[in-house]
Chain A
């Protein structure tokens, strides 16, 4: 008799992703669960497969979580939040300007050139651009499209935006809070050389998503085992450090409103999850 199995998708934004899921697969095998995984080059194809029933689970970016929800709703089904990392909760994006710039409030950026991450980065493009637009601030967007399709998982776009700010070719840059700290500590930005002009409201990031046809009891078991994983276990700790978490937390759907609104505002996806050309790219 074959072991019960789940099919999981993950986007390979870095070679370490294979190492991470091979490690989790081996761990689950020890508990009698056959977790097979498939690596995707981008989130759209992963979500398509989740909704078409070729996957039971998708380790989704926030944007992919929103698209999966929209597609499921349009087809009369649902996708289910399973787990997220502790580090996926309460992130913020920041609007960063040179410390000696004249800008004192977001409204001062009207007409200014603002560097963003990739076209599909929730944290470095969609959410902070929508935040500025919500304040009525119209800016010229200078986008750094690195790793398009990866929904901002690749930090290259944000790094290039930070470099542009340091070089003085843009007036402001939109970054994740943790990325701003990283850019300052690694020297891309001079510590104290930039000023956080504004920060968005907190939002949530990645979501382990169960597809409409996923076996519910098995998904519950999978979630329970993830939530029971301890950072004290050396074998798991290595995987946790690679994946960037200390503990898995129950998936919550309360931290995606600002991104969903941004998707609507810019026309990134329509209500059925069909991709469009966002306003800032036209």
Chain B
């Protein structure tokens, strides 16, 4: 017989020969024949067994042989008739979009595949309910992710933990209180995106990556704020019921857009100003450094939140009504709580004052008031970016939680 020949030499099907076989068979059409030659003693047994399992069949070159056959040591040749199993398997396969294209509504069955991959029919149909591009996507997401990946820092080396603490015990107590407050806020800033990660259709890969790195950012913040709090002792500060009530409203929000709005645009946006304040007025190099590092990360989180909500609002003007309602709802829910704990507010004043003299406290108090004004103007600016008129932005900013986050 003539026709295509595969010579496996002494390579057996138990040592990789099946790869050559599959490669050559893929070049044939169903029903076409491939002569397979080899010196592996087990080939005469393995080849029919392999073909049977893979939808092909074999024909002995000498088809008159019947009954018990003993294998021989010399080169043997068998004819493989290509089956159609592989063609059938892939006959209805479709691409999960293109690697660089972002679909408006990726099908659920794409959920477990890489974007752009060739999908065999069948398989699971996972329920990723965040599957609307208008809802989750921002064109800036790929760039922000790349930026975030390049700016990851190591808590062990990015901070000089041995730097001296020259301030007094009262100021140190204020630092510990502020750090305690930061830790509980950052825990929530970790949990909120983490809750949405499992609901997001992986087709929006860059958003998935961005949220994942946001979670990792917050994990580092927890580490450095905790370490700073414990740098001079072994005790944490207080946690107010009102502060925790405010944070709890964030964790409870199930709507991705509203949660992003409340957490990133309003909460983390406000926190950027707070961290900037600590980076500037912190009494020691460690406090200033951890605040600066966290602030840089938080800026990214805010950028993404504002960008994707701005994009979303431009496509769905009614979104602003929902955002407005969310602010009012949260304000009403927190109306009877104390807001920012007095311990935290006082600690910020002391920390900014640096000492207990009346002049210093006056200065610290003024600085905290300035911080609150800066937070308010920042919120109004971001609300304006989402399309809220100035007067409404001012009203909504004023309703933001007194707990900052």
Q: State A231–B55 Cα separation when bound (angstroms).
A: 10
A198 touches B122 (CB 8 A): no
Q: Is B48 an interface residue (CB 8 A)?
A: yes
**Would you list which residues of chain A between 197 and 248 have a CB under 8 Å from chain B?**
197-201, 230-232, 234-235, 237-238, 244, 246-247
| B 1-35 binary contact with A (CB < 8 Å = 1; else 0) | 00000000000111100000000000000000000
Pick from A70-78, A163-171, A178-186 the stretch touching chain B. Answer: A178-186
Contacts of B48 in A (CB 8 A): 90, 92, 177
Let me know if A191 and B55 touch, CB within 8 A.
no
Say if the beta carbon of A196 comes within 8 Å of chain B: yes
Do A237 and B45 touch across chains, with their CB atoms under 8 A apart?
no
Bound Cα distance from A177 to B53, whole angstroms: 11
The answer to whether B46 touches A177, judged by C-beta atoms less than 8 angstroms apart, is yes
Query: With an 8 A cutoff between CB atoms, is B83 at the interface?
Result: yes
A237 pairs with B89, CB closer than 8 A: yes
Question: B45 contacts which of A87, A131, A196, A232 (Cβ < 8 Å)?
Answer: A196
By a CB distance below 8 angstroms, the chain A residues around B89 are 231-232, 237
* Contact B41–A195 (Cβ < 8 Å): yes
Tell me if B121 and A181 are in contact (CB < 8 A): no
Residues on A with beta carbons closer than 8 Å to the beta carbon of B358: none
We find that the number of chain B residues with CB closer than 8 angstroms to chain A is: 33
Contact A181 to B50, CB < 8 A, known contacts A92-B45, A232-B92, A234-B92: yes
* Given A94-B45, A196-B45, A231-B85: A86 and B122 interface contact (C-beta under 8 Å): no
Q: Is the CB of A181 within 8 A of B46?
A: yes
B14 CB contacts on chain A under 8 angstroms: 181, 184-185, 191-192
Partner of A198, one of B12, B46, B68, B92: B68
Beta-carbon contacts under 8 Å, A101-151 to B: 105-106, 131
Residues from chain A with a CB closer than 8 A to the CB of B84 are 231
The residue in chain B whose Cβ has the minimal distance to the Cβ of A202 is B48
Q: Does A91 contact B (CB under 8 A)?
A: yes
* Chain A 34-68 per-residue mask, 1 if CB under 8 angstroms from chain B, else 0: 00000000000000000000000000000000000
Nearest Cβ distance between residue B389 and chain A, in whole angstroms? 53
Report which of B45, B67, B68 forms a contact with A177, defined as CB distance below 8 A.
B45
Number of interface residues of A (CB under 8 A): 37
The minimal Cβ–Cβ distance linking A23 to chain B, given in whole angstroms, is: 11
B160 contacts A by Cβ under 8 Å = no
The distance from the CB of A228 to the nearest CB of chain B, in whole angstroms, is 14
Are A87's CB and B53's CB within 8 A? yes
With a CB–CB cut-off of 8 A, which chain A residues contact B46?
177, 180-181
Tell whether, in the assembled complex, residue A244 and residue B12 are in contact, meaning their CB atoms are under 8 Å apart: no
CB distance from A193 to the nearest CB of B (A): 10
With A177-B49, A231-B88 already in contact, the answer to whether A201 and B68 are too (CB < 8 A) is yes
Mask, B61-97, CB within 8 Å of A = 1, is: 0000011111100000000000111001101100000
Q: SS class of chain B's interface: helix, strand, loop or mixed?
A: loop
CA distance A89 to B49 in the complex (A): 10
CA distance A264 to B70 in the complex (A): 24
Q: Given the interface contacts A234-B122, A246-B55, does A181 sit within 8 Å of B68 by beta carbon?
A: no
A191-B15 in contact given A181-B49, A237-B89 (Cβ < 8 Å) = yes
B50 near A131 with CB under 8 A, answer no
Measured between beta carbons, the chain A residues less than 8 angstroms from B49 are 91-92, 176-178, 180-181
Chain A interface mostly helix, strand, loop or mixed?
A: mixed
CA separation between A81 and B4, bound complex, in Å? 38
Cβ of B123 < 8 Å from any Cβ of A? yes
Q: Which of B49, B71, B89 is packed against the most chain A CB atoms within 10 Å?
A: B49
CB-based contact A235/B122 at 8 Å: yes
In the complex, chain B residues whose CB is within 8 Å of the CB of A191: 12, 14-15
Contacts of B67 in A (CB 8 A): 201
Mark contacts of B38-62 with chain A using CB atoms, 8 A cut-off: 1 yes-contact digit, 0 otherwise.
0011101110111011010000000
**Would A246 and B83 be within 8 Å (CB), given that A177-B46, A195-B41, A200-B68 are in contact?**
yes
B282 CB → nearest A CB, Å: 60
Q: How far is the CB of B47 from chain A (nearest CB, A)?
A: 9
The answer to whether the Cβ of B120 comes within 8 Å of any Cβ in the partner chain is yes
Pair B52/A198 contact, Cβ less than 8 Å: no
Q: Which of A178, A184, A185, A199 contacts B44 (CB 8 A)?
A: A199
- Whether A238 contacts B122 by the Cβ 8 Å rule is yes
Complex CA–CA separation, A231 to B66 (angstroms): 31
Distance, CA A185 to CA B17, complexed state (A): 11
Given A180-B46, A231-B89, the answer on whether A91 and B71 have CB atoms closer than 8 Å is: no
A residues bordering B, Cβ < 8 Å? Answer: 86-87, 89-92, 94, 105-106, 131, 176-178, 180-181, 184-185, 191-192, 194-201, 230-232, 234-235, 237-238, 244, 246-247
Given A86-B52, A94-B45, A195-B41, 13 other A-B residues pairs in contact with their CB atoms under 8 A = A92-B49, A105-B70, A177-B49, A181-B42, A184-B12, A185-B14, A192-B15, A195-B42, A199-B69, A201-B67, A234-B120, A234-B121, A237-B88
State the 5 A-B residue pairs at the shortest beta-carbon distance, nearest first: A234-B122, A184-B14, A234-B121, A246-B55, A178-B49
